[in-house]
Amino acid sequence: MTTNSLTTSQGAGRAGDKVFSGATLAAGCLILVVLFGVALFLVIQAIPALVAPPSDIQGGQGFFAYIGPIVVGTLIAAVIALVIATPVAIGVALFISHYAPRRLASGLGYVVDLLAAIPSVVYGAWGAAFLAPQISPAYGWLATYMGWLPIFQGPASATGKTILTASIVLSVMVLPIITSLSREIFLQTPKLHEEAALALGATRWEMIKMAVLPFGRPGIVSAIMLGLGRALGETMAVALVLSSGALTASLIQTGNQTIAAEIALNFPEASGLKVSTLIAAGLVLFVITLGVNMIARWIISRHKEFSGAN
């Protein structure tokens, strides 16, 4: 009889089972430990900044006076990015799922995914070298004719390196995320709903309004939340594009700063308490994005049938 190598050595096999399942379990637990460790080590290294006397922190007013304007700047940049990206992303997703010829659809989807493949530092360089100079005349126009709005108050930045330019670059970077998730969900709309709407005489847009969008709404919301998480934490687009400064309401002047860019610009040369302060700023960013992402995932998990998250 030939011995089958798969079934011989009973004892080793049983031990192998134990070792292997133990290893997989350990790897799974390691991930939980790492996530916990991210929070733990950030807190440990951040504590000196939180307990230090206010006069020692940059600005001399304590940590929260330092981080407050930056958090607001981060939110402004992320929200503008989403306001720009969301309508375009949903349009692109609808185009790929319901408008483009079937044969082209997957190729076009790949083209949009290419947007996600371009490294963030390249977007930053593009925003600083190409977009900012091109867009600064538009800011001049806005300052002249729309200057009565606080957000367009002049004088406009001559270089175009403003929070609005940074937000436009951010919107390009979150666009593929929102597009790919929405596209997945739109494709899962029950065919019978769509055909029923068309059979009742609906135009294509009415069919989308009645069948596709209501079905996809929770998915769109969570896609926007995931995009928000990305926009909040994106570093390079802001660090290279924005010439930062104090918090201002005007979007077309230099000024404002985001947490991620503040860390990237200052961390390499920081030492002592400054390191602590920046790590504490990172902790704040971590908590904000964690909250946003958990809400998004919770919305997705409530609607299991949308496997858009995969």
Partner 1 sequence: MTVTAPVARKRSALTKGQLPAFAPYVVLAVALVLGAAILALIGFNAFGWGLVSAILFAIGLVGWSAVVEGGRKARDKLATCLIVGSFLVALLPLISVIWTVLVNGIPGIITPGFLTTSMNGVTGSLDNKSVDDGTKVLGGIYHAVLGTVQITLLATVISVPVGLLTAIYLVEYGNDRALARAITFFVDVMTGIPSIVAGLFSAAFFFAVVGPGTKTGAVAAVALSVLMIPVVVRSSEEMLKIVPNELREAAYALGVRKWRTILKVVIPTAISGIASGVTLAIARVIGETAPILVTAGFATTINNNVFGGWMASLPTFIYTQILNPTSPSNPDPSSQRAWGAALVLIILVMLLNLGARLIARIFAPKAGR
Site for partner 1 in 177-206 (CB under 8 A): 179, 203-206
Q: Judged by CB under 8 A, does residue 1 bind partner 1?
A: no
Per DSSP, the three-state class of 225 is helix
CB of 74 to partner 1, least distance (A): 10
Q: Does 94 bind partner 1 (CB under 8 A)?
A: yes
| Residue 155, preceding peptide bond in cis (omega within 30° of 0) | yes
Output the smallest distance, CB 191 to partner 1, in A: 20
Interaction pattern, residues 137-166, with partner 1; x per rule: CB under 8 A: ------------------------------
User: How far apart are the C-alpha atoms of 300 and 78, rounded to whole Å?
Assistant: 21
Residue 43's nearest CA partner among 272, 281, 234 is 281
Question: How far apart are the C-alpha atoms of 17 and 152, rounded to whole Å?
Answer: 66
Give the CA angle between residues 257, 259, 264 to the nearest 5°.
95
Residue 241 lies near partner 1 (rule: CB under 8 A): no
Q: Select 118 or 192, whichever has its Cβ closest to partner 1.
A: 118
**Residues of span 2-61 touching partner 1 by CB under 8 A:** 4, 6-7, 13-14, 16-17, 19-21, 23-32, 34-35, 37-38, 41-42, 44-45
- Per the CB < 8 A criterion, the answer to whether 277 and 57 are in contact is yes
Number of residues engaging partner 1 in binding (CB under 8 A): 98
Listed ranges 104-112, 145-153, 191-199, 243-251: which one lies at the site for partner 1 (CB under 8 A): 104-112
Cβ-proximal residues to 182 (8 Å cutoff; 6+ apart), any chain: 89, 90, 93, 216, 219, 220, 223, 308
Q: Which stretch binds partner 1 (CB under 8 A): 62-70, 158-166, 188-196, 277-285?
A: 277-285
